[in-house]
Amino acid sequence: MPIYNAPLADMKFILNDVFNAEQFWQANEKLAHVDAATAEAILEEMAKFAQNVTLPLNRTGDEEGAHYENGKVTTPAGFKEAFQQYAEGGWIGLGADEEWGGQAMPKMLTVLADEMLFATNPSFMLYPLLSVGAGMALNSYASQEQKETYLPKIYSGEWSGTMCLTEPHAGTDLGIIKTKAEPNEDGSYNITGTKIFITGGDHDLAENIIHLVLAKTPNAPAGSRGISLFIVPKFIVNADGSLGDRNTAGPGSIEHKMGIKASATCVMNFDAAKGYLVGKENEGLAAMFVMMNYERLSMGIQGLGASEYAYQNAAQYATDRLQGRSANGVQSPNKPADSILVHGDVRRMLLNARANNEASRAFAVYVGQQLDITKFSTDAEAIAKANNRVALLTPIAKAYLTDTAFDAVIDAQMVFGGHGFIREWGMEQCVRDLRIAQIYEGTNGVQSQDLIGRKTIKCNGEFIAEYIAEIRDFANDLDTDLNFIKDATLDVATEVDMITQHILERAKENADFANAAAVDYLHAVGLLSFSYMFARIANAAKNKDGQFYQDKLALTHYFIQRVLPDLHARIAKIKAGAEVLMNFSEDYFTTQA
């Protein structure tokens, strides 16, 4: 059975030492109810839930999968009870406003709680995750009456939420969706269309499901400017809040897929289903983006959780597995062979994963802090700056954290040799379950387009320039005993600054340049972000006694010497330009040899 021990010491180090979270919370009136002791107690409780409840259901959930029968979806054995326990523990509303029954905890903290659940059972985690995302979109754009009707029930777990965007012919390009919304005289709409790939579209965990559906009203402008957002409940909610008739919205089937098999991915049919407009007509995409941006950061946390889980199991296996002898002579003469930990290549794989976990965790908390500033600060300038930072870093959080996590999970699987490929050790499930994180919520390729296009070229590099300025300020203030990370971070900042200018120039000359450069640019900005995180980690660890802190510094050295050099390859690929791709004719891809 795979193991998982919540990395509480690392989490507390990031919150307390790296980000001085308590000081940040106490300085803000709206967060003053949170202190380090409260945060630690929450993390410890979540660790128990993850280790004792969701971890044991991970493999059984994968093997049993979600079921579809007679128009109804049921979740694997144990999921219903676990969801009830999760809801009763108040976890769904951990970060939600108190007004709606939430606990108003900062994002800096909730990302760490989410990490543990994603590590131990990503399929399970997706059910409450979609509820929280739907709650956030409603909180930002719904009417007061809609908030009062839906939010308390969503955060209590009595009802759940979904996000219905994708259609068979429209995934990345939502401007071409066909789902229609016809207005009724009573102010409601009839929603008709088919959505596919809807996570948690139907299940048996909650008594009602609140679908947030994108659709087009008659005469809506073409493209994404003509999209509206609707609440479509599975059961119509009566005026007194009780459940009324079954709505004509339901699952047509569930997908049979590579991983996250316990998460029901549904084809949803809306047959003149009753829907209620959220916000204004044709402004639905902005509302949906509240949900999508939340989910995108969460996908990065899915990556982090999987990478931590894979690392822990691989490190344990490497300690126990005896194969070959050390190049420096026999290390364990009383055993038939040395542990595979004596081999440099095995260490490379483990340290790649470990470096990824520590930098990703710090980065998730950093982005969480920026989100907390946007939500809780009263300083307009600080809010505007944090908004720009969140806009810039959301695609990094989604795509870079899942790309690096997938590499880490593959490395961890390789540590097991052939045993990584068979079920028993849990690694093949981990790989299968994580792959989707690079695909859904907008593929990582499309996230990269967002970074290079909307978040960089469109603002003439302003967002990245502000970020680089902050990183330079931080690095320049480091003590001389941290010159190794200071110099590395300043160098990366210069390289990313220069390649950004290069992109801004060449994108003017060649319309294909940015699209072809996007993924490599995302990885370059990701490496800059990880350097910044390691600079912060090293700064927090320096001058502190104990192996725990020495290890942080040693891992920082590892990152600089064995991970960061990838930057040069990324930059070379960006400079190679688009012609080398675009010069192939379409026939080259379509003509069979």
Ligand X SMILES: Cc1cc2nc3c(=O)[nH]c(=O)nc-3n(C[C@H](O)[C@H](O)[C@H](O)COP(=O)(O)OP(=O)(O)OC[C@H]3O[C@@H](n4cnc5c(N)ncnc54)[C@H](O)[C@@H]3O)c2cc1C
- Give the binding site for ligand X (CB under 6 A): 163-166, 171-172, 197-199, 257, 265, 436, 439-443, 445-446, 449, 515
Instruction: Name which of 174 and 525 has its Cβ closer to ligand X.
Output: 174
Give the residue with the Cβ less far from ligand X, 112 or 212: 212
**Whether the Cβ atoms of residue 285 and residue 230 lie closer than 8 Å to each other:** no
**What is the DSSP code (8-state) at residue 220?**
P
Q: Supply the minimum distance, in Å, between the C-beta of residue 103 and ligand X.
A: 25
**Alpha-helical segments (H) within 142-255:** 144-156
Three-state DSSP class for residue 203: coil
Which tokens in the block code for residue 132?
């929280």
Helix (H) or strand (E) holding 271: strand 265-278
Rounded Cα–Cα distance for residues 421 and 427 (Å): 7
343: alpha, beta or left? (left if phi > 0; alpha if psi -120 to 50): beta
Task: Confirm if 125 and 199 have CB atoms less than 8 A apart.
Answer: no
Residue nearest to ligand X (CB): 171
Look up residue 336 and give its two tokens. Answer: 């038939």
Query: Which residues, at least 6 apart from 373, have a Cβ–Cβ distance to it below 8 Å?
Result: 382, 383, 385, 386
Q: Report the nearest approach of ligand X to the CB of residue 412 (Å).
A: 22
For the CB of residue 439, give the shortest distance to ligand X in the complex, in Å: 6
Cβ at position 436, least distance to ligand X in Å: 5
Cβ distance to ligand X smaller for residue 160 or 388: 160
**Least distance between ligand X and beta carbon 480 (Å):** 45
Question: Which of 355, 574 has the CB closer to ligand X?
Answer: 574
- Phi, psi dihedrals of residue 308, rounded to the nearest 5°: -65, -45
Sorted by sequence, the CB contacts under 8 Å of residue 74 that are 6+ apart come out as 66, 67, 203, 204
What is d(CA 124, CA 118) in angstroms, rounded to the nearest whole number?
8
8 A C-beta contact, residue 99 and residue 106: no
Shorter beta-carbon distance to ligand X: residue 296 or 486: 296
Kind and range of the H or E run holding 194 = strand 189-199
CB of 459 to ligand X, least distance (A): 19
The residue among 63 and 481 lying less far from ligand X, judged by its C-beta, is: 63
Cα 556 off chain centre by: 24
The amino acid at residue 130 is L
DSSP 8-state class, residue 279? S
Between CA 196 and CA 405 the distance in angstroms is 27
Nearer to ligand X, 257 or 506 (CB): 257
Question: Phi, psi at residue 335, to the nearest 5°?
Answer: -120, 160
- Closer residue to ligand X, CB minimum distance, 208 or 539: 208
Phi, psi of 84, deg, nearest 5 = -60, -45
Query: Hey, which residues does 163 pair with through a beta bridge?
Result: 212
The distance of closest approach from Cβ of residue 179 to ligand X in the complex, given in angstroms and rounded to an integer, is: 11
Contact yes or no for 402/437 (Cβ under 8 A): yes
Rounded Cα gap, residues 35 and 32, in angstroms: 7
Cβ closer to ligand X: 167 or 372?
A: 167
Gap between the terminal Cα atoms of the chain:
47
- Using an 8 Å Cβ cutoff, are 258 and 435 in contact? yes
Pick between residue 369 and residue 438 the one whose CB is nearest to ligand X. 438
Query: Which amino acid makes up residue 178?
Result: K
- In one-letter notation, the amino acid at residue 256 is H
Smallest separation (angstroms) from ligand X to the CB of 193: 12
Task: Compare residues 446 and 578 and give the one whose CB is closer to ligand X.
Answer: 446
Token pair recorded at residue 534: 């390691």
Q: Least CB distance from residue 395 to ligand X, whole Å?
A: 12
10-14 long-range CB contacts below 8 Å, 24 or more apart? 10/357, 10/358, 10/361, 11/43, 11/112, 11/115, 11/361, 12/40, 12/43, 13/540, 13/548, 13/552, 14/112, 14/361, 14/362, 14/365, 14/537
Q: Least distance in Å: CB of 545 to ligand X?
A: 47
CB of 513 to ligand X, least distance (A): 13
Q: Which residues are catalytic?
A: 441
